[in-house]
Amino acid sequence: MLKRYYDRNTRLFLWLGGSRSALTIHRALWGPGVRTRQEALAYAHHLLLEQIHAAGLVEPRLLDLGCGVGGSLLSLLAQLPEGSSGTGVTLSPVQADLARRAARERAMEQRAAFLEADFLCLPALSPVDFAYAIESFVLTAHPAAFFQQAAGVLRLGGQLVVIDDFLLREPTTSRESSLLAAFVRGWHAHGLNTPQQAIRSAALSGLTLLHEADLSTMVRVNTLRDRAVSAAVGLGRLLQLRGPYWDSLYGGDALRACLASDLTSYRMLVFEKSVLQSSPESDP
């Protein structure tokens, strides 16, 4: 279902919500020094690049778990030495095709590969130094499998960064329950976990938390665009409009209310692979 959802709606999301030039459909982050929406859409890439440099990686091999249309991977590689390379994984053949086309247009097809695959069941890949997932972890209802697959392809000492929405507390009113349900349904966020749940799941695969940052204050929740979306949502509900895009609007509007109510937060979790995984043959 998720594959069909992105196949049908990716181009629409790029047109209406993301950035066609930057090839991003994730959240805009208004971090320090950010002045324009384009800069805000690229701020997550800035955070990843900072972490790559902090890890002392010079020519890293990257893995994008849920790469969308390739914007994040291509942006990172453009700012790293020529010897760097990376692989992006997406369920959607439409997204994979758009990402490959973008790589060709940027003459980066030798450095960036894009695969149509499930990050819960990765194909055979060479070990990577740095993996990341931007707003894709929340899509999986199987966090343990996500971390197991990521750890399986990371070299010892390699890092995994997750930037996503996390549950802070259980709802206490029927309105809060309705808001969470609308977000989960509209954004297919069936893997909405607390940070503590994610950290425990990661530890089972030998991934140790190095750093956690709350990015919620960088997400603007009452912009002119947000108010326009809220008005459209009100009209849509009145007219009982449904469909993937309308559900996405309802979900996004609900998420803004969840963030404002401290029901959810937008965070970055940085993990390091500190333990080698046992191969099936070596298990007793």
Q: Burial level of 12, CB count in 10 A (0-12/13-18/19+)?
A: middle
Q: How many domains does the chain have?
A: 1
The reply to whether 57 falls in a domain is yes
Render the burial of 121-149: b for 16+ CB within 10 Å, e for the rest: ebeebeebbbbbbbbbbbbbeebebbbbb
**pLDDT by residue (tens digit) across 230-246?**
887 788 888 877 877 77
* pLDDT confidence of residue 279: 45
The reply to whether 247 falls in a domain is no
Most confidently modeled range among 24-28, 208-212, 251-255: 208-212
The reply to whether 31 falls in a domain is yes
The reply to whether 64 falls in a domain is yes
Using an 8 Å Cβ cutoff, are 45 and 75 in contact? Answer: yes
pLDDT band for 280, please (50, 70, 90 cuts).
very low
**Residue 24 DSSP one-character state:** B
Please name every residue paired with 211 in a beta bridge, in sequence order, or none if there are none. 270
The reply to whether 183 falls in a domain is no
CATH number at residue 104: 3.40.50.150
Tokens of 58: 């010079």
Task: Supply the range of the domain harboring residue 103.
Answer: 2-165+192-219+265-274
Over residues 11-33, mean pLDDT: 69
Tokens of 22: 């930057």
Using an 8 Å Cβ cutoff, are 120 and 149 in contact? Answer: yes
The reply to whether 226 falls in a domain is no
The reply to whether 123 falls in a domain is yes
d(CA 117, CA 123): 7
Phi and psi, residue 136, nearest 5°: -120, -25
Element containing residue 195 per DSSP (H, E): helix 195-203
The reply to whether 187 falls in a domain is no
pTM of the predicted model, to two decimals?
Answer: 0.90
**Residue 12 vs residue 89, higher pLDDT:** 89
pLDDT band for 15, please (50, 70, 90 cuts).
low
Using an 8 Å Cβ cutoff, are 67 and 89 in contact? Answer: yes
d(CA 130, CA 271): 10
**pLDDT by residue (tens digit) across 174-204?**
999 999 999 999 889 999 999 999 999 999 9
Q: Name the residue with tokens 């976990």.
A: 193
**Residue 122 DSSP one-character state:** P
Tokens of 281: 């043959």
Lowest pLDDT segment from 60-69, 134-143, 230-239: 230-239
